[in-house]
Structure 1
Amino acid sequence: MTTNVLVSRRSIQLLRILVSGIFLVAGFNHLLNVEKTAQRIEQASFKGLANFFGNPELLIILSGIAMLAAGFLFLIGYKTKWAALILMAVLIPITLTVQVGQITTLGPLFKNIAILGGLLFFVLNDTGNLLNKTK
């Protein structure tokens, strides 16, 4: 059963804009600081996960490009559901590789979980439809 909920169009836009910011910054960071980011992976508890998927430096560059491209699409509200899915696909392995296992600093782990929640909102809801129907 589907329940309709009145949602402010502005709140959807603000959520999308605010969530996209971290991906735009992180994407630039990945591309401008490949070696520094690779060192973070090398120090991570689950670095084997990144190494399993390939060369960490190449993965950093590819994830930077994906975060910039999908982050920009998410920011402007174009193909929002697909952009959110791509961002989730990038964020989950980063979270598992770098944040999980860092028991002394749980803040970044739960920040990523909160970001995943924001992205999931856009995956599960037809926000384009909501924007057309609400004030």
Structure 2
Amino acid sequence: MRRTVSVSPLSVTLLRVMLSGIFLVAGGNHLLNTEATVARMHHASLKNFALYFGEPEWLVILSGVTMLVAGLGLLSGFLSRYAALVLLAVLIPITITVQIGQVTTLGPLFKNVAISGGLLFFIINNFPSPNLIR
């Protein structure tokens, strides 16, 4: 038996716009403060997880560009499901590297868990892209 849940289109738009903001800011920060972001990675207890994937500077730049592009997609509602999937794929290794194992960063760890929940909402529920041109 399948249940139908009614969700206000305005609430979906607000969630999408508000959720995208953190990725736009973080993506910009990765690109404008690459050295500081790399330094945070080097101080993380699970830094070897990130280092397995490549050179830290390139990882920070790549994640910054990815967060900006996918964040803009989520913000605009253009291919929201795919934008959320890409953002989740970026968020998971960042969370593992920087947040897990840091006793002093439990708040940011659970912030990332909550953000993941918001992204999963858009991955699981396929909302049509809004008409960008009317």
TM-score scaled by length of structure 1 = 0.93
List runs of 5+ in structure 1 lacking aligned partners: none
* Structure 1 position 18 matched with structure 2 position 49: no
1:47 corresponding residue in structure 2: 47
Equivalent pairs, count = 130
Q: Distance in 2 between matches of 1:69 and 1:2?
A: 35
Root-mean-square deviation (CA, aligned residues, Å) is 1.2
Q: Distance in 1 between matches of 2:96 and 2:2?
A: 33
Judge which range, 99-108 or 69-78, deviates more: 99-108
AA paired with 2:72? Answer: F
2:90 corresponding residue in structure 1: 90
List runs of 5+ in structure 2 lacking aligned partners: none
1:110 corresponding residue in structure 2: 110
Structure with larger RCO (C-alpha < 8 A, sep 6+): 1
**Percent of pairs identical after alignment?**
59
Please identify runs of 4+ aligned residues in structure 1 that moved more than 3 A.
Answer: none
Q: Distance in 2 between matches of 1:78 and 1:105?
A: 33
Q: Deviations over 1:61-99 (max 9, x none)?
A: 000000000000000000000000000000000000000
